[in-house]
Amino acid sequence: MKNSIITQLQQALNTTKILTGEALKERYTHIWRMDEPLNALAVILPKTTEEVAAALKICHANNQPVVVHGGLTNLVGSTEMTDGQEVVISMEKMNSILEVDDQSRTMTVQAGVILENVQNAATEKNLLFPLNYGAKGSAQIGGAISTNAGGLRVFRYGMTRNLVLGIEAVLADGTIISSLKKIIKDNSGYDIKQLFIGSEGTLGVVTKAVLKLVEAPKSRNSAWIGLMDYSKVVQLLKFMDSGLAGTLSSFELFWKATFIGMTTPPSPLKATLPYDYPYYVLLESLGGDQAQDQIQLETLLAEALEKEIIADAAIAYTVSDLEWFWKIREDMSIIIGQCQNGQNYDVSLPIPAIGKYVAETVEKLWKIPVVNRVYPLGHVADGNIHFSIGKSEQSEALIKQINDTIYAPLTDLGGSVSAEHGIGLDKKAYLSLCRTPAEIQLMKTLKMAMDPKGIMNRGKVLS
């Protein structure tokens, strides 16, 4: 049976696009686990939507499970194998930017295009693709769509779903669904593309997308700010958002321990402010006049200091300052590398509740004897908090204990166990904490309708 499926795939796609046996030892399921050979039946390397459709048609006919691989930067096990007998469809060869239309301010791409390449192509046309996060040099746009990725500018520009105008995708049976429209407004029935955005490859394979671009800003200003109380963080967010009149694009919060962890050895980065404050905010404004916008930021920060909203601030005055400031936020490998047996989280909850929730959660985590690193930070302006946790031991019981500590309070707070990374394998057991039984049943109904044989990313998101 297995050999029959591989033979059919080779006949349909050409043997050069099918990897099996020893060739799989060079593959992996995540960029952090490159030393672990891929355990799969085969890897398919399509170059066109039609080849994806041909492969899925064969897999569907043979009840063959399929896992889709993009940039392999996900953090919830979405690209892992469940039994080692899956066929992997890797989108890495579908990496063409098909069109940049500066008149409609859109970009049409294949799903395997690296996010940073999308950003650079937009910049060449004096446009901006706002989606931005630390893994931009590895993450593929299809993966960003499949997980509805967030990142550093969600507060102003929204999640990935806000930046996708059209999608082409292939269903489990090989049917191609193509709606590569460049229009923003289209109320002609159900918005089909939204079914694929955030579905983690469980409903089909995204092969192409039309992305929404915006005019490139003419100015970029940033500052690191020290604050003494979480209530001041919320006050500062409202104050700066109002004062910057729509140009505030990022508002990132570090707790003191995280700021220290990012700016002391073994980190190569130096601190922007003294280690005197419980909270550190990194903000960014994107505007139309560099000189005037910088003056405006200086004026607002001076006023915030006078009003005792903030305790200290450092402004980026050069391009090198900007790179330094944002390296502290973007290079999360610095603290993740310090977290032995690490566990990473991306929860969301109402902004006013964040301060107390984090304080209580950190206290509980430190009471677990083997925990030796606790680093909270987040996109506080959109209610998204991350934790990176290190510990001296590893066991399933310990993983569950820490999961329960992080997730248990979220139901009563009206929060979510996943702000932007998805559910995958790792969070499946906790989906019911933030989705009602009726919502989960509706998800299962959609899954059954679109993938009745259950071959697409089997075992992920839903039981």
- Residues 296-317 have a mean pLDDT of 98
Torsion of CA 457, 459, 461, 462, to 10 degrees: 120
Whether domain 97-215 has CATH 3.40.50.720: the reply is: no
Domain map of the chain by residue range?
2-92, 97-215, 219-324, 334-448
The CA distances from residue 88 to 7, 18, 130, 356, in Å, are: 15, 10, 30, 43
What is the average pLDDT score of the chain? 95
What does the pLDDT look like over 173-199, one tens digit per residue? Answer: 999 999 999 999 999 999 999 999 999
pLDDT of residue 32: 78
pLDDT tens-digit series, residues 380-425:
999 999 999 999 999 999 999 999 999 999 999 999 999 999 999 9
Nearest by Cα to 201 from 386, 72, 46? 72
Helical segments of 35-88, H only: 49-61
Distance, in Å, from the CA atom of 343 to the CA atom of 133, rounded to the nearest integer, reads: 19
Question: DSSP of 275-336, one letter per residue?
Answer: S--SEEEEEEEEES-HHHHHHHHHHHHHHHHHTTS-SEEEE--SHHHHHHHHHHHH-THHHH
pLDDT one-digit tens code per residue, 112-161: 999 999 999 999 999 999 999 888 999 999 999 999 999 899 999 999 99
The architecture of the domain spanning 334-448 is 2-Layer Sandwich (3.30)
pLDDT-based confidence at 33, cuts 50/70/90?
Answer: confident
Selected from 3.40.449.10, 3.90.79.10, 3.40.50.620, 3.30.43.10, the CATH number assigned to the domain covering 2-92 reads 3.30.43.10
- What is the pLDDT at residue 15? 77
Helix axes 290-306, 230-243, angle to 10 degrees: 140
- Tens of pLDDT, residue by residue over 341-379, are 999 999 999 999 999 999 999 999 999 999 999 999 999
Does the domain at 219-324 match CATH 3.30.70.2190? Answer given as yes
CA 458 from centroid of its chain's CA atoms: 21
**Rounded-to-integer distance, Cα 357 and Cα 155, Å:** 21
Select from 193, 194, 167 the least CA-distant residue to 106. 167
Task: Give the pLDDT score at 20.
Answer: 92
Mention every residue, 6+ apart, whose C-beta is less than 8 A from residue 352: 234
Asked if 219-324 and 334-448 have one fold, the answer is yes
Q: Which of 107, 63, 69, 73 is nearest to 91 (CA)?
A: 69
Mean pLDDT of 238-266: 97
Integer Cα distance of 7 and 11 in angstroms? 6
CB-CB neighbours of 33 under 10 Å: 12
pTM: 0.93
What Å distances lie between residue 389 and 251, 339, 359, 421, CA to CA?
23, 6, 15, 17
Paired strand residues for 225: 281, 313
Alpha carbon of 274 to those of 212, 411, 447: distances in Å? 40, 37, 52
Q: Is pLDDT at 1 greater than 70 in this prediction?
A: no
Q: Is the dihedral of CA 89, 92, 97, 98 positive or negative?
A: negative
